[in-house]
């Protein structure tokens, strides 16, 4: 008898602007450079705990091009990521350290990190979500047919595709996910 593999559901989470505050310098959206600059959104922990209770894997997928641009160190980024993983009870973290000019498959809007996570954890992407605050997050989700939740901070950039849902903060996401599974 052949056993079928039960596929899991996941919520893919961008890092900066979803789990923690971004930093705006000279009208440019940037990432915190170290733990001292990291400010986790107060509602993030409770929201992620609810997602866990709903049975979702929590996987952070983050572009960190400051490494390729020599604006930060891999050690600083990993320290931030490890802190977030332990503090927010994330199941895993996938990071792209490349810049656009590297033409990698992992940098969002490409879906390489989501595909890699789905293979590792047997995730059904059609029953999963991606939560992000940039057009790249929405496109990565669209590329693998995840449901897309866009946190709109009114950045000075345009979306390429319409997200499935638009919210004001991560806490608003729990109402969307809750409605779908009930």
User: What are the tens digits of pLDDT across the range 127-157?
Assistant: 999 999 999 999 999 999 999 999 999 998 8
Gyration radius (Cα) of the chain, Å:
16
- Token look-up 């809007």 returns 109
Report how far residue 138's alpha carbon sits from residue 127's, in angstroms, rounded to the nearest whole number: 16
**Element containing residue 95 per DSSP (H, E):** strand 92-96
- Identify the three-state secondary structure at position 69: coil
* Residue 3: partners with Cβ closer than 8 Å, 6 or more residues away: none
Q: Is 77 inside any structural domain?
A: yes
Q: Is 159 inside any structural domain?
A: yes
Instruction: Tell me how many domains the chain contains.
Output: 1
User: What are the tens digits of pLDDT across the range 83-132?
Assistant: 999 999 999 999 999 999 999 999 999 999 999 999 999 999 999 999 99
Task: Quickly state the pLDDT bin for 1 (edges 50, 70, 90).
Answer: low
Q: Is 3 inside any structural domain?
A: no
CATH of the domain at 32: 3.40.50.1000
Instruction: Report the interhelical angle of 173-181 vs 44-53 (nearest 10°).
Output: 10
């Amino acid at each position: 008898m052949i056993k079928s593999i039960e596929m899991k559901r996941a919520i893919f989470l961008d890092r900066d602007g979803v789990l923690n505050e971004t930093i705006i310098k000279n009208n440019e959206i940037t990432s915190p450079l170290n733990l001292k600059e990291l400010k986790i959104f107060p509602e993030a922990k409770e929201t992620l705990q609810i997602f866990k209770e709903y049975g979702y894997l929590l996987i952070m997928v983050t572009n960190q091009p400051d490494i390729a641009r020599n604006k930060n160190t891999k050690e600083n980024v990993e320290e931030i990521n490890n802190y977030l993983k332990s503090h927010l009870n994330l199941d895993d973290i996938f990071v792209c350290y490349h810049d656009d000019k590297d033409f990698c498959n992992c940098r969002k809007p490409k879906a390489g990190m989501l595909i890699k996570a789905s293979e590792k954890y047997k995730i059904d992407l059609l029953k999963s979500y991606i939560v992000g605050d940039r057009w790249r997050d929405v496109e990565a989700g669209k590329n693998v047919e995840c449901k897309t939740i866009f946190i709109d901070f009114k950045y000075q950039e345009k979306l390429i595709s319409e997200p499935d849902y638009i919210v004001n903060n991560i806490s608003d996401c729990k109402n969307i996910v809750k409605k779908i599974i009930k």
